[in-house]
Amino acid sequence: MPVTDFLERNSKLYGNEIALVELNPEMTDNRRITWKDYALMQPTSPVAYRREITWKVFDEKANRFANLLLSRGVNRGDKVAILMFNCLEWLPIYFGILKAGAIAVPFNFRYSSEEIQYCADLAEIDILVFGPEFIGRIEAIEEKLSRGRLLIYVGDNCPTFAESYRELVADCPSSAPLVRIEEEDDAAIYFSSGTTGFPKAILHRHQSLTQAAQMEQKHHRTGREDTFLCIPPLYHTGAKFHWMGSLVAGSRAVLLKGTHPDTILKAVSDEHCTIVWLLVPWAQDILDALDRGDLHLEDYHLSQWRLMHIGAQPVPPSLIRRWKKYFPHHQYDTNYGLSESTGPGCVHLGIENIQKVGSIGVPGYRWECRIVDENGHDVPRGTVGELCVKGPGVMSCYYRDPKATAEVLRDGWLYTGDMARQDEDGFYFLVDRKKDVIVSGGENIYPVQVEDFLRAYDKIKDVAVIGLPDKRLGEITGAIIEVKDGVSCTEQEINDYCQGLPRYKRPRKIIFAPIPRNATGKIEKPKLRRMYGAEHLVEQQNMG
């Protein structure tokens, strides 16, 4: 069954129950303040911006948008892009696209005008739906972008080059459109991170979306009583498909804007959240704030919070050990995945396997995994090789790129480009990205292993290990280190600490600098290599 069926079921069974809450603590919602409230308010206690919709309204909004698309001649397989920050309109628009039989194409909200244009052309979109934060970027390319395309604006003060979403859907029927959707139909195009250049367009069928939704609900045992706190951007497969566990369960979710530690804990407290998905930097920030005494757990109502899980990047075991000291009763899970496998969960630790922290886990619901060598042959357990996954959530293809598709899809297996090993108990351990492996004097060095070692040092907030070009060894290991706020640290301290590593793994160059991460928390290593690789070569040349 397509995921749209879950929405229609929830509308019928739980129609008057809250489905989604939009919460922005950094913005004041004057609509919710009566004159009496205003008279009693103190200047330091504004009311946070908060909106909510029921399952019935959610479904009706999706139907209205689907009927709008159909009235504008949108046919099965046409592409509709979404360029918006998280808000209450995001998911109804996404589901409206699916209900119309069209293909949803979420755009990264960090895209520049050039990248927006590139992705619009690559995916051959017919309609772009965008929010007020992107007026400037769209206006810069409007003349070229709007050729043969409809631009729909979601927000106040619609620009002249677009049509207003509110006005367009106002007169559209709220009944379900008469469009039959099959699981083999194309459903969505997601874009790769684009860390090695412009992103690739990843095409998924409805089967992928249903698989991701059912898997999420099973992995985290999401029930009707749960409330999921969603912080990452909905354009990303991780955020959306983690939320879809709530869709399958028919339970509530909160879309939170803001990642400050107090903002997160207050949202968990005020909205009675039970499941929270964090990125590594946010979890670190919460722990650092607790260590400094900036936050006090007794100031919040957190007893209902049962599960904290992390994904999108390797998770240092030291982070989870610190977390369990503050939250000893929390269940913990980590999920591995990539956009080509419909996001997180093709490998997952499982809340019952916390003793295996450091592992990405075992094959997820309805998934298979294997580790292969350069020739595609299975390697013995304990040997490092490339992780491959197979299951109903694998992409159809890279859209309009058969060569790139053939490189990663072979006999139904998706070659992930991630290096991993499997232990004697069958658990998989991520070693590093294949492209990130450092080859120094003939030795393979896996940056994640060095990063995990360095993160255990109490002065380090974040770290990225990269290969730097070297005339003699080919590459050397460089460690970019971001120290904790208010802490001083020297290169000698790091070198002394690294005596605990084998000699060949020790960083040859230490750089103290901020660690750039993208919107989903992944370290932007290509950017770091560009920043420091050329600089290191110049240093070598100057040294003769």
Residues 403 and 383 both lie in one domain: yes
- The 10s digit of each residue's pLDDT in 307-333 is 999 876 667 788 899 999 999 999 999
- How far apart CA 74 and CA 491 sit, in angstroms, is 60
Contact 269, 275 (CB under 8 A): no
| Average confidence (pLDDT) over 346-363 | 92
Domain end call among 393, 418, 434: 434
Name every residue whose Cβ is closer than 8 Å to that of residue 351 and which is 6 or more positions away in sequence. 220, 221, 307, 331, 332, 333
Position 155 scores a pLDDT of: 94
- The 10s digit of each residue's pLDDT in 425-468 is 999 998 877 777 787 766 778 788 888 889 889 899 999 998 88
Statement: residue 195 has pLDDT above 50? no
Statement: residue 28 has pLDDT above 70? no
**Domain with 449 in it: what CATH number?**
3.30.300.30
Position 528 scores a pLDDT of: 87
Residues 363 and 477 both lie in one domain: no
Residues 479 and 529 both lie in one domain: yes
Contact 237, 244 (CB under 8 A): no
Statement: residue 536 has pLDDT above 80? no
**Domain with 11 in it: what CATH number?**
3.40.50.12780
Contact 199, 86 (CB under 8 A): no
Residues 396 and 478 both lie in one domain: no
Residues 408 and 450 both lie in one domain: no
Residues 447 and 410 both lie in one domain: no
- How far apart CA 118 and CA 188 sit, in angstroms, is 17
How would you classify the pairing of strands 397-398 and 413-422? unpaired
Domain assignment present for 287:
no
Amino acid at 287: L
Domain end call among 402, 434, 466: 434
Statement: residue 33 has pLDDT above 50? no
Q: Which domain holds residue 178?
A: 3-258
* Domain total in the chain: 3
pTM above 0.85, yes or no: no
Domain assignment present for 294:
no
